Amino acid sequence: MSSEDRSEEDRLDGGNLLRRKRRWPGRRAKTIDTPQESQSFEDYAAERLSSFLSAQLLTLLVGYVVLVAGDIWFRHGLSTVAAVLGALPAMPMGAALVVAWAPRSGLRASLAALVFIAALEAGIVLHAVQWGEDPAIVLPAFVLVPLTFSPVLLRGWDFAAAAAFAAAGPVALLAFSAPPAPERFGVALSIVAAISASLVTNLFALRSQKKNFRLEVQLRAFADIDELTQLPRRRRVFELGRRLIHRAERTGQPLSALYIDADYFKSVNDRFGHDAGDRALRLIARGIQDSLRPTDVCGRFGGEEFVALLPGSDQIDAARAAERLRKRIEEMRQFEVTLTISVGVAQHVRGEQIDRVIRRADAALLDAKGSGRNRVVIAPRPPEHGLAATDAGPRPEPGPSAQGAAPGSATKESATHGDAPCSREPITD
Protein backbone atom coordinates (compact mmCIF):
# COMPACT_ATOMS: atom_id res chain seq x y z
CA MET A 1 0.00 0.00 0.00
CA SER A 2 1.42 3.38 -0.94
CA SER A 3 1.45 6.41 1.30
CA GLU A 4 -0.86 8.24 -1.09
CA ASP A 5 -4.15 7.42 0.50
CA ARG A 6 -5.06 4.68 2.91
CA SER A 7 -7.95 2.39 2.18
CA GLU A 8 -11.49 3.53 2.67
CA GLU A 9 -11.71 1.45 5.83
CA ASP A 10 -8.64 3.11 7.33
CA ARG A 11 -10.01 6.58 6.66
CA LEU A 12 -13.32 5.71 8.22
CA ASP A 13 -11.77 4.05 11.26
CA GLY A 14 -11.65 5.62 14.68
CA GLY A 15 -14.42 8.15 14.25
CA ASN A 16 -12.21 10.43 12.16
CA LEU A 17 -14.44 10.32 9.11
CA LEU A 18 -16.10 13.67 9.09
CA ARG A 19 -14.51 16.25 11.34
CA ARG A 20 -15.10 19.79 10.28
CA LYS A 21 -12.23 21.06 12.41
CA ARG A 22 -8.88 19.34 12.21
CA ARG A 23 -5.60 20.21 13.85
CA TRP A 24 -1.98 20.29 12.95
CA PRO A 25 0.20 19.97 16.04
CA GLY A 26 -0.03 23.35 17.74
CA ARG A 27 -2.31 25.05 15.19
CA ARG A 28 -5.81 24.87 13.83
CA ALA A 29 -6.44 23.96 10.22
CA LYS A 30 -9.62 25.34 8.79
CA THR A 31 -11.95 23.43 6.56
CA ILE A 32 -13.12 24.60 3.16
CA ASP A 33 -16.56 26.12 3.20
CA THR A 34 -18.64 26.18 0.08
CA PRO A 35 -21.64 28.50 -0.17
CA GLN A 36 -23.81 25.46 0.48
CA GLU A 37 -21.81 24.53 3.56
CA SER A 38 -21.87 28.03 4.98
CA GLN A 39 -25.64 28.40 4.69
CA SER A 40 -27.66 28.20 7.87
CA PHE A 41 -29.86 25.27 8.73
CA GLU A 42 -32.93 27.44 8.25
CA ASP A 43 -31.91 28.29 4.70
CA TYR A 44 -31.07 24.65 4.04
CA ALA A 45 -34.51 23.55 5.25
CA ALA A 46 -36.22 26.28 3.24
CA GLU A 47 -34.40 25.15 0.10
CA ARG A 48 -35.31 21.49 0.63
CA LEU A 49 -38.95 22.19 1.55
CA SER A 50 -39.68 25.06 -0.83
CA SER A 51 -41.55 22.88 -3.32
CA PHE A 52 -43.54 21.28 -0.49
CA LEU A 53 -44.45 24.67 0.95
CA SER A 54 -45.41 26.04 -2.46
CA ALA A 55 -47.64 23.02 -3.13
CA GLN A 56 -49.33 23.51 0.24
CA LEU A 57 -49.97 27.20 -0.35
CA LEU A 58 -51.26 26.58 -3.86
CA THR A 59 -53.64 23.85 -2.67
CA LEU A 60 -55.02 26.01 0.13
CA LEU A 61 -55.36 29.03 -2.18
CA VAL A 62 -57.30 26.97 -4.73
CA GLY A 63 -59.50 25.64 -1.90
CA TYR A 64 -60.23 29.14 -0.67
CA VAL A 65 -61.05 30.39 -4.18
CA VAL A 66 -63.46 27.48 -4.59
CA LEU A 67 -65.01 28.42 -1.23
CA VAL A 68 -65.53 32.02 -2.33
CA ALA A 69 -66.90 31.01 -5.74
CA GLY A 70 -69.27 28.48 -4.16
CA ASP A 71 -70.46 31.03 -1.63
CA ILE A 72 -71.29 33.50 -4.39
CA TRP A 73 -72.92 30.80 -6.54
CA PHE A 74 -75.17 29.31 -3.89
CA ARG A 75 -76.02 32.56 -2.15
CA HIS A 76 -77.52 34.64 -4.91
CA GLY A 77 -78.54 37.30 -2.46
CA LEU A 78 -74.97 37.93 -1.46
CA SER A 79 -74.18 41.61 -1.83
CA THR A 80 -71.29 42.89 -3.90
CA VAL A 81 -69.57 44.28 -0.80
CA ALA A 82 -69.82 40.93 0.95
CA ALA A 83 -68.48 39.12 -2.11
CA VAL A 84 -65.53 41.52 -2.36
CA LEU A 85 -64.77 41.19 1.34
CA GLY A 86 -64.87 37.41 1.03
CA ALA A 87 -62.44 37.44 -1.90
CA LEU A 88 -60.12 40.08 -0.41
CA PRO A 89 -57.96 37.64 1.66
CA ALA A 90 -57.07 35.79 -1.55
CA MET A 91 -54.85 38.72 -2.61
CA PRO A 92 -52.26 38.48 0.22
CA MET A 93 -52.49 34.70 -0.05
CA GLY A 94 -51.55 34.87 -3.72
CA ALA A 95 -48.72 37.31 -2.98
CA ALA A 96 -47.36 34.99 -0.28
CA LEU A 97 -47.48 32.11 -2.74
CA VAL A 98 -45.41 34.07 -5.26
CA VAL A 99 -42.81 34.94 -2.61
CA ALA A 100 -42.60 31.36 -1.35
CA TRP A 101 -42.33 29.92 -4.86
CA ALA A 102 -38.67 30.85 -5.23
CA PRO A 103 -37.35 31.58 -1.73
CA ARG A 104 -33.85 32.95 -1.32
CA SER A 105 -33.78 32.43 2.42
CA GLY A 106 -35.56 30.57 5.17
CA LEU A 107 -36.73 33.85 6.65
CA ARG A 108 -38.55 34.85 3.48
CA ALA A 109 -40.27 31.46 3.26
CA SER A 110 -41.35 31.65 6.90
CA LEU A 111 -42.73 35.18 6.54
CA ALA A 112 -44.61 34.20 3.38
CA ALA A 113 -46.16 31.24 5.16
CA LEU A 114 -47.21 33.39 8.13
CA VAL A 115 -48.80 36.01 5.88
CA PHE A 116 -50.68 33.25 4.10
CA ILE A 117 -51.89 31.72 7.38
CA ALA A 118 -53.06 35.09 8.72
CA ALA A 119 -54.97 35.86 5.51
CA LEU A 120 -56.50 32.38 5.42
CA GLU A 121 -57.63 32.60 9.05
CA ALA A 122 -59.15 36.03 8.40
CA GLY A 123 -61.00 34.72 5.35
CA ILE A 124 -62.42 31.73 7.22
CA VAL A 125 -63.62 33.92 10.10
CA LEU A 126 -65.13 36.41 7.66
CA HIS A 127 -67.15 33.71 5.88
CA ALA A 128 -68.30 32.19 9.13
CA VAL A 129 -69.55 35.60 10.28
CA GLN A 130 -71.37 36.14 6.99
CA TRP A 131 -73.04 32.76 7.20
CA GLY A 132 -74.22 33.41 10.75
CA GLU A 133 -74.24 29.69 11.41
CA ASP A 134 -72.84 27.64 14.21
CA PRO A 135 -69.06 28.34 14.41
CA ALA A 136 -68.39 24.61 14.49
CA ILE A 137 -69.12 24.54 10.76
CA VAL A 138 -65.65 25.93 10.01
CA LEU A 139 -63.87 23.94 12.70
CA PRO A 140 -62.26 21.51 10.20
CA ALA A 141 -60.55 24.42 8.45
CA PHE A 142 -59.15 25.78 11.71
CA VAL A 143 -57.87 22.35 12.67
CA LEU A 144 -56.18 21.78 9.30
CA VAL A 145 -54.22 25.04 9.27
CA PRO A 146 -51.65 24.21 12.01
CA LEU A 147 -51.43 20.58 10.91
CA THR A 148 -50.73 21.58 7.32
CA PHE A 149 -47.83 23.93 8.01
CA SER A 150 -46.15 22.13 10.92
CA PRO A 151 -43.60 20.19 8.78
CA VAL A 152 -42.26 23.30 6.99
CA LEU A 153 -42.02 25.92 9.75
CA LEU A 154 -38.68 24.94 11.29
CA ARG A 155 -37.27 28.20 12.63
CA GLY A 156 -38.96 27.89 16.03
CA TRP A 157 -40.56 31.30 16.24
CA ASP A 158 -42.40 30.87 12.95
CA PHE A 159 -44.22 27.77 14.21
CA ALA A 160 -45.14 29.60 17.42
CA ALA A 161 -46.50 32.52 15.39
CA ALA A 162 -48.44 30.14 13.12
CA ALA A 163 -49.95 28.41 16.17
CA ALA A 164 -50.97 31.80 17.57
CA PHE A 165 -52.64 32.72 14.26
CA ALA A 166 -54.38 29.36 14.15
CA ALA A 167 -55.76 29.90 17.65
CA ALA A 168 -56.67 33.56 17.05
CA GLY A 169 -59.25 32.72 14.37
CA PRO A 170 -61.43 30.39 16.50
CA VAL A 171 -61.08 32.66 19.52
CA ALA A 172 -62.31 35.67 17.52
CA LEU A 173 -65.17 33.65 16.05
CA LEU A 174 -66.23 32.35 19.45
CA ALA A 175 -66.14 35.87 20.88
CA PHE A 176 -68.31 37.17 18.03
CA SER A 177 -70.91 34.39 17.92
CA ALA A 178 -71.01 33.63 21.68
CA PRO A 179 -72.11 29.98 21.38
CA PRO A 180 -73.12 27.92 24.43
CA ALA A 181 -70.42 26.94 26.89
CA PRO A 182 -70.26 23.24 25.86
CA GLU A 183 -69.76 24.25 22.25
CA ARG A 184 -67.06 26.75 23.16
CA PHE A 185 -65.30 24.06 25.16
CA GLY A 186 -65.49 21.61 22.24
CA VAL A 187 -64.05 24.12 19.76
CA ALA A 188 -61.27 25.11 22.14
CA LEU A 189 -60.42 21.48 22.84
CA SER A 190 -60.26 20.71 19.13
CA ILE A 191 -57.88 23.58 18.48
CA VAL A 192 -55.64 22.61 21.39
CA ALA A 193 -55.52 19.03 20.10
CA ALA A 194 -54.68 20.23 16.58
CA ILE A 195 -51.88 22.51 17.78
CA SER A 196 -50.48 19.77 20.04
CA ALA A 197 -50.43 17.27 17.19
CA SER A 198 -48.82 19.93 14.99
CA LEU A 199 -46.13 20.54 17.60
CA VAL A 200 -45.23 16.85 17.67
CA THR A 201 -45.07 16.78 13.87
CA ASN A 202 -42.96 19.94 13.83
CA LEU A 203 -40.45 18.58 16.35
CA PHE A 204 -40.00 15.32 14.46
CA ALA A 205 -39.63 17.16 11.14
CA LEU A 206 -37.11 19.52 12.74
CA ARG A 207 -35.09 16.62 14.10
CA SER A 208 -35.09 14.81 10.76
CA GLN A 209 -34.06 17.87 8.76
CA LYS A 210 -31.26 18.75 11.18
CA LYS A 211 -29.91 15.23 10.94
CA ASN A 212 -29.94 15.41 7.14
CA PHE A 213 -28.28 18.82 7.26
CA ARG A 214 -25.43 17.57 9.45
CA LEU A 215 -24.91 14.50 7.28
CA GLU A 216 -24.77 16.54 4.07
CA VAL A 217 -22.28 18.98 5.57
CA GLN A 218 -20.11 16.12 6.80
CA LEU A 219 -20.26 14.27 3.50
CA ARG A 220 -19.28 17.40 1.59
CA ALA A 221 -16.36 17.91 3.96
CA PHE A 222 -15.20 14.33 3.47
CA ALA A 223 -15.53 14.61 -0.30
CA ASP A 224 -13.55 17.86 -0.42
CA ILE A 225 -10.81 17.33 2.19
CA ASP A 226 -7.84 15.00 1.82
CA GLU A 227 -7.61 13.07 5.07
CA LEU A 228 -3.82 12.89 5.12
CA THR A 229 -2.84 16.49 4.33
CA GLN A 230 -6.09 18.31 5.21
CA LEU A 231 -5.89 20.06 1.82
CA PRO A 232 -8.65 20.21 -0.79
CA ARG A 233 -8.93 17.23 -3.08
CA ARG A 234 -8.55 17.37 -6.86
CA ARG A 235 -12.26 17.85 -7.55
CA ARG A 236 -12.47 20.76 -5.13
CA VAL A 237 -9.42 22.45 -6.64
CA PHE A 238 -11.04 22.33 -10.08
CA GLU A 239 -14.27 23.73 -8.64
CA LEU A 240 -12.50 26.65 -6.95
CA GLY A 241 -10.31 27.13 -10.01
CA ARG A 242 -13.33 27.65 -12.26
CA ARG A 243 -14.56 30.36 -9.92
CA LEU A 244 -11.16 32.03 -9.82
CA ILE A 245 -10.94 32.03 -13.61
CA HIS A 246 -14.41 33.54 -13.89
CA ARG A 247 -13.40 36.28 -11.47
CA ALA A 248 -10.05 36.86 -13.19
CA GLU A 249 -11.65 37.26 -16.61
CA ARG A 250 -14.31 39.55 -15.20
CA THR A 251 -11.86 41.82 -13.38
CA GLY A 252 -8.95 41.54 -15.80
CA GLN A 253 -6.59 40.32 -13.07
CA PRO A 254 -3.94 37.64 -13.75
CA LEU A 255 -4.15 34.11 -12.39
CA SER A 256 -1.34 31.57 -12.20
CA ALA A 257 -1.10 27.90 -11.27
CA LEU A 258 1.72 26.01 -9.56
CA TYR A 259 2.08 22.27 -10.10
CA ILE A 260 4.24 20.92 -7.27
CA ASP A 261 5.81 17.48 -7.01
CA ALA A 262 7.93 16.01 -4.21
CA ASP A 263 11.27 14.87 -5.61
CA TYR A 264 12.32 11.22 -5.26
CA PHE A 265 9.33 10.48 -3.09
CA LYS A 266 9.31 6.78 -3.94
CA SER A 267 12.80 6.43 -2.51
CA VAL A 268 11.58 8.06 0.71
CA ASN A 269 8.87 5.41 0.98
CA ASP A 270 11.26 2.60 0.15
CA ARG A 271 13.91 3.76 2.58
CA PHE A 272 11.93 4.96 5.58
CA GLY A 273 8.52 3.31 5.13
CA HIS A 274 5.08 4.57 4.27
CA ASP A 275 4.45 6.17 7.65
CA ALA A 276 7.50 8.37 7.08
CA GLY A 277 6.21 9.09 3.57
CA ASP A 278 2.91 10.23 5.02
CA ARG A 279 4.75 12.49 7.44
CA ALA A 280 6.78 13.95 4.58
CA LEU A 281 3.60 14.72 2.65
CA ARG A 282 2.12 16.46 5.68
CA LEU A 283 5.27 18.56 6.08
CA ILE A 284 5.20 19.58 2.41
CA ALA A 285 1.48 20.38 2.61
CA ARG A 286 2.08 22.55 5.65
CA GLY A 287 4.96 24.32 3.90
CA ILE A 288 2.71 25.06 0.93
CA GLN A 289 0.00 26.45 3.19
CA ASP A 290 2.41 28.65 5.12
CA SER A 291 4.14 30.00 2.01
CA LEU A 292 1.06 31.25 0.17
CA ARG A 293 -1.43 34.02 0.79
CA PRO A 294 -4.87 33.70 2.39
CA THR A 295 -6.43 34.35 -1.03
CA ASP A 296 -4.55 31.50 -2.71
CA VAL A 297 -5.95 28.00 -3.15
CA CYS A 298 -3.79 24.94 -2.57
CA GLY A 299 -4.80 21.30 -2.85
CA ARG A 300 -3.52 17.77 -3.18
CA PHE A 301 -3.85 16.25 -6.63
CA GLY A 302 -2.91 12.74 -5.59
CA GLY A 303 0.22 10.94 -4.47
CA GLU A 304 3.01 13.46 -3.93
CA GLU A 305 1.55 16.07 -6.31
CA PHE A 306 0.02 19.37 -5.22
CA VAL A 307 -1.54 22.32 -7.08
CA ALA A 308 -1.73 25.94 -5.97
CA LEU A 309 -3.78 28.66 -7.67
CA LEU A 310 -2.60 32.24 -7.21
CA PRO A 311 -5.20 34.90 -8.12
CA GLY A 312 -3.79 38.34 -8.89
CA SER A 313 -0.33 36.95 -9.70
CA ASP A 314 1.23 36.78 -13.14
CA GLN A 315 3.78 34.11 -14.03
CA ILE A 316 6.71 36.22 -12.76
CA ASP A 317 5.17 36.75 -9.32
CA ALA A 318 4.05 33.12 -9.25
CA ALA A 319 7.58 31.93 -10.09
CA ARG A 320 8.99 34.03 -7.25
CA ALA A 321 6.43 32.58 -4.86
CA ALA A 322 7.27 29.07 -6.10
CA GLU A 323 11.00 29.71 -5.62
CA ARG A 324 10.39 30.87 -2.07
CA LEU A 325 8.32 27.75 -1.45
CA ARG A 326 11.07 25.56 -2.95
CA LYS A 327 13.63 27.07 -0.60
CA ARG A 328 11.33 26.70 2.39
CA ILE A 329 10.85 22.99 1.75
CA GLU A 330 14.56 22.44 1.12
CA GLU A 331 15.49 24.18 4.38
CA MET A 332 13.13 22.07 6.50
CA ARG A 333 14.96 20.12 9.19
CA GLN A 334 12.01 18.11 10.48
CA PHE A 335 12.62 14.98 8.42
CA GLU A 336 15.28 12.29 8.19
CA VAL A 337 16.55 13.57 4.83
CA THR A 338 16.35 16.83 2.94
CA LEU A 339 13.04 17.16 1.13
CA THR A 340 12.94 19.00 -2.20
CA ILE A 341 10.22 19.85 -4.69
CA SER A 342 9.97 20.68 -8.37
CA VAL A 343 7.44 23.27 -9.49
CA GLY A 344 5.84 24.09 -12.82
CA VAL A 345 4.28 27.54 -13.29
CA ALA A 346 1.61 28.51 -15.82
CA GLN A 347 -0.32 31.76 -16.21
CA HIS A 348 -3.94 31.73 -17.30
CA VAL A 349 -4.84 33.50 -20.54
CA ARG A 350 -8.31 34.73 -21.40
CA GLY A 351 -10.63 32.02 -22.62
CA GLU A 352 -8.53 29.20 -21.16
CA GLN A 353 -10.16 26.62 -18.88
CA ILE A 354 -8.69 25.63 -15.54
CA ASP A 355 -7.80 22.12 -16.67
CA ARG A 356 -5.77 23.55 -19.55
CA VAL A 357 -3.87 25.90 -17.22
CA ILE A 358 -3.04 23.03 -14.87
CA ARG A 359 -1.94 20.83 -17.79
CA ARG A 360 0.51 23.50 -18.91
CA ALA A 361 1.83 23.80 -15.36
CA ASP A 362 2.20 20.00 -15.32
CA ALA A 363 4.20 20.13 -18.56
CA ALA A 364 6.49 22.75 -17.00
CA LEU A 365 6.87 20.46 -13.98
CA LEU A 366 8.03 17.65 -16.27
CA ASP A 367 10.63 20.02 -17.68
CA ALA A 368 11.77 20.85 -14.14
CA LYS A 369 12.10 17.16 -13.27
CA GLY A 370 13.89 16.44 -16.51
CA SER A 371 16.34 19.28 -15.82
CA GLY A 372 17.50 17.78 -12.54
CA ARG A 373 14.60 18.45 -10.13
CA ASN A 374 14.52 20.89 -7.20
CA ARG A 375 13.79 23.87 -9.42
CA VAL A 376 11.01 26.08 -10.83
CA VAL A 377 10.14 26.20 -14.53
CA ILE A 378 7.66 28.57 -16.21
CA ALA A 379 5.44 27.16 -18.95
CA PRO A 380 5.37 29.07 -22.27
CA ARG A 381 2.22 31.00 -23.04
CA PRO A 382 -0.09 29.43 -25.64
CA PRO A 383 0.71 31.10 -28.99
CA GLU A 384 -2.90 30.93 -30.16
CA HIS A 385 -4.01 33.20 -27.31
CA GLY A 386 -1.21 35.73 -27.41
CA LEU A 387 -0.21 38.16 -24.72
CA ALA A 388 -2.14 41.32 -23.99
CA ALA A 389 0.00 44.45 -23.82
CA THR A 390 0.00 46.29 -20.53
CA ASP A 391 0.52 49.93 -19.71
CA ALA A 392 3.10 49.09 -17.08
CA GLY A 393 5.78 48.29 -19.67
CA PRO A 394 7.78 45.09 -19.99
CA ARG A 395 7.80 42.69 -17.08
CA PRO A 396 11.10 41.90 -15.36
CA GLU A 397 12.44 38.44 -16.13
CA PRO A 398 12.47 35.91 -13.31
CA GLY A 399 15.71 34.78 -11.79
CA PRO A 400 17.61 31.85 -13.24
CA SER A 401 16.12 29.33 -10.82
CA ALA A 402 12.63 30.22 -12.03
CA GLN A 403 13.74 29.42 -15.58
CA GLY A 404 15.05 26.01 -14.62
CA ALA A 405 18.63 26.86 -13.69
CA ALA A 406 20.48 25.56 -10.67
CA PRO A 407 18.42 25.72 -7.50
CA GLY A 408 21.01 27.72 -5.69
CA SER A 409 20.19 30.76 -7.83
CA ALA A 410 17.76 32.92 -5.88
CA THR A 411 14.96 34.99 -7.32
CA LYS A 412 13.77 38.32 -6.02
CA GLU A 413 10.79 37.66 -3.77
CA SER A 414 7.50 39.21 -4.71
CA ALA A 415 5.93 41.72 -2.36
CA THR A 416 2.51 40.40 -3.30
CA HIS A 417 3.02 37.14 -1.40
CA GLY A 418 3.19 37.21 2.37
CA ASP A 419 3.82 34.36 4.76
CA ALA A 420 0.18 33.77 5.71
CA PRO A 421 -1.25 30.28 5.08
CA CYS A 422 -3.18 29.78 1.87
CA SER A 423 -6.92 30.17 2.21
CA ARG A 424 -9.49 27.46 2.53
CA GLU A 425 -12.30 29.95 2.74
CA PRO A 426 -15.26 30.24 0.33
CA ILE A 427 -14.60 31.83 -3.04
CA THR A 428 -17.59 33.76 -4.33
CA ASP A 429 -17.97 35.33 -7.70
Count structural domains, the chain.
2
Full DSSP string of 245-297: HHHHHHHT--EEEEEEEETTHHHHHHHH-HHHHHHHHHHHHHHHHHHS-TT-E
170 and 313, same domain (yes or no): no
pLDDT in tens, 365-400: 999 999 999 999 999 988 644 444 333 333 434 444
* φ, ψ of residue 29 in degrees (nearest 5): -105, 125
281 and 379, same domain (yes or no): yes
Spatial distance between the Cα atoms of 289 and 128, rounded to a whole number of angstroms: 69
**pLDDT above 60 (res 412):** no
Is residue 105, in this structure, part of any structural domain at all? yes
**pLDDT above 60 (res 206):** yes
pLDDT in tens, 270-294: 888 888 888 889 999 999 988 888 8
- Domain with residue 374: its CATH number is 3.30.70.270
pLDDT in tens, 41-81: 877 777 788 888 888 888 888 888 888 887 777 765 556 67
pLDDT in tens, 210-261: 888 888 877 877 778 888 888 888 888 998 999 999 999 999 999 999 999 9
Lowest mean pLDDT among 158-162, 200-204, 331-335, 411-415: 411-415
**pLDDT above 80 (res 403):** no
207 and 346, same domain (yes or no): no
pLDDT of residue 74: 72
214 and 241, same domain (yes or no): no
Select the more confidently predicted residue: 137 or 269: 269
| Amino acid, single-letter form, for residue 314 | D
Burial 259-297 (b: 16+ CB within 10 A, else e): bbbbbebeebbeeeeeebbbbbbbbbbbbbbebbbebbb
241 and 204, same domain (yes or no): no
- Domain extent at residue 340: 230-383+393-403
pLDDT in tens, 159-190: 888 888 878 877 777 777 777 777 778 777 87
142 and 242, same domain (yes or no): no
Is residue 77, in this structure, part of any structural domain at all? yes
237 and 200, same domain (yes or no): no
